Structure formats: C-alpha cells, structure tokens
Amino acid sequence: MSRVFKALSDPSRRRVLQLLRAGPMSAGDLADQFAVSKPTMSAHFAVLREADLVHVEKSGKSMIYHLKLSVLEEALMGFAQTFGLGTEAVSTLPDGQEVLP
C-alpha cells in the first residue's frame, strides 16, 4: 500500500499510468513522452513494477508495459473505503427519477 502511494506521488509516474490506460506500450515509446533521460524513466518503471501497478512482457527487443488497473483499483478504492468513501450509492438515473420500492 505504501509502495502504491509512493509510486503515485510522482507526476511522471502518474502520467505513465495514464498513458497505459489506452493500452500496452513499450518502454521506449513511453519514455519518448517525457523530457527526462531513458535511464531515469527506467527507474520510474521499476518503481511502478515494485508497486505492482504494471506488468511487463518481453517482445523481441522491446519491453511492453501493461497497466494493472485492478491493482490500482484495489489500492485506491480499498483505502478510500476505510474512510467510508467511494461506496455511496450515486444515482445515475435522470434527475428526479427514482427506483421505486
């Protein structure tokens, strides 16, 4: 849990996760989106791996990173729930309409 929040405490790492939302991406393609050196990004990837927020698949000479959305969800929502957050029934019905008893 600490590792997840630590991972999320850096804007670059949060952006990596956002990029991976759209689908798996190689380390190089990810790194190209950032202004820092590739070794620096590699270190960020390592932090995300240690937090188990991504999973890597080897493909030829590339490393393909995948977002582990379920892990993010579990950590974020699990923690939120310990504060009673995130589980209130929020209506998605048109305004004024209700589910009848």
If we measure between CA atoms, which residue out of 40, 37, 34, 4 comes closest to residue 19?
Answer: 34
Shortest gap between Cβ of 97 and its own copies (angstroms)?
9
Measured from the CB atom, the residue of 29 and 77 that comes closer to its own copies is 77
Residues that bind its own copies (CB under 8 A): 1-2, 5-6, 8-11, 14, 17-18, 21, 69, 72-73, 76-77, 79-80, 82-87, 89-90, 92-93, 99
Residue 90, contacted partner among its own copies, DNA, none, CB below 5-8 A by kind: its own copies
Phi, psi of 95 (to 5 degrees): -55, 135
CA distance 28 to 73: 26
Shortest gap between Cβ of 66 and DNA (angstroms)?
13
Distance between alpha carbon 17 and the CA centroid of its chain, in Å?
Answer: 4
Place of tokens 């019905």: 93
